[in-house]
Homo-oligomer: A and B are copies of this chain.
Amino acid sequence: MTDDRFWPPRGFAALDPEHSDYESSRVVILPVPYDSTASGWVGAREGPAAIIDASENMELYDIGIGREPYCVGIHTLPELAPHAGGPEAMLERIEEVVAELLDDGKFVVTIGGEHTVAVGAVRAHARRTPGLSVLAFDANADLRDSYMDTPYSHACTLRRALECLPAGRHGAPVVLVGLRSAEREEHEFIQDRGLPFYSPREYRAAGPESIAAQLADDVYITIDLDAFDPSQVAAVGTPEPGGLLWDEVSELLETVARRRRIVGFDVTELAPSLGPRANAQLAAKLTYRLIGLAVRE
């Protein structure tokens, strides 16, 4: 009994069943409320619910890109249950579920939770898309080999991602934009490997086209929301001044969508209680716009 006297059921963008049932939807939202390895301030496990709640306030025509992303169908799964036994088992669960969804022909959008969840999603995509590049938005290098006694900490996300992206290929395995915090060892690792990691200032100098040019044809995008300036997203565990602005991120995503094929993405690290609700609204709109850019009718 749900007619037009009711709001639509809860789910990303508050879509009616026609545009959100699993079968006919091209896009699947996978919420992963996991933050067990968090080291700074806490609460990313509440991120998926906050982003979905905020998305229900969006108007469905994205005037900024002139599209209605929901038309391809967006299904919202229930939250993936955290595996409390440790991050390795949790990443396996994420990889397994993402893989099943990909094999079912879906475009998968993973909503964190901490940035670690990206490792599971990247692995599933990388195994199905040889030569994949990862475009990362992040304030931190996330290149530690191990942190707090585990190689599966959020601080190791891109180190683990690199390991499943083989070298000897067209395009960089990982390109990072937004960098402004690292340990000395990570800085040296970047220098030694010649990784294309850009601070906001360096990104402004290089421009979006030159970023896109370094990516392979198929691109997975992983977004740690702390890449944004804290004025735009304060609600993250490790906010860092001097970050990217909405228009800058949006322009880069538009450029990459025009030049490459986006095969999947994640949006992570929103800890909603650490900032105003407007931060969840930004994350929702970002997710919605990126669906519109990546998945065409």
Residues of chain A having any CB pair with chain B under 8 Å: 1-2, 4-10, 22, 35-43, 45-46, 49, 53, 57-61, 63-64, 68, 77-89, 93, 96-97, 100-101, 104, 140, 147-150, 152-153, 179-184, 186-187, 199, 201, 229-232, 234-236, 238-242, 246-247, 250, 273-279, 281-282, 285-286
Contact = CB atoms under 8 A, between A and B. Distances in A.
A42 B43 contact: yes
Q: How many copies does the complex hold?
A: 6
A26 to B, nearest CB: 15
A277 B93 contact: no
A57 B85 contact: no
A7 B79 contact: yes
A183 B37 contact: no
Contacts of A22: 1
A233 to B, nearest CB: 9
15 contacts: A2-B78, A6-B77, A7-B78, A7-B79, A39-B84, A40-B57, A59-B181, A61-B184, A63-B181, A81-B148, A85-B88, A85-B152, A86-B86, A239-B277, A239-B282
Which of A7, A83, A278 has the largest number of chain B CB atoms within 10 A? A278
- Max chain B C-beta neighbours (<10 A), residue from A80, A186, A230: A230
Contacts of A104: 1
B6 A81 contact: yes
Main SS class of interface, A: loop
A79 B181 contact: no
A254 B149 CA distance: 37
Given A2-B77, A77-B6, A89-B149, A239 B182 contact: no
Given A1-B22, A149-B85, A199 B241 contact: no
Contacts of A63: 179-182, 187, 199
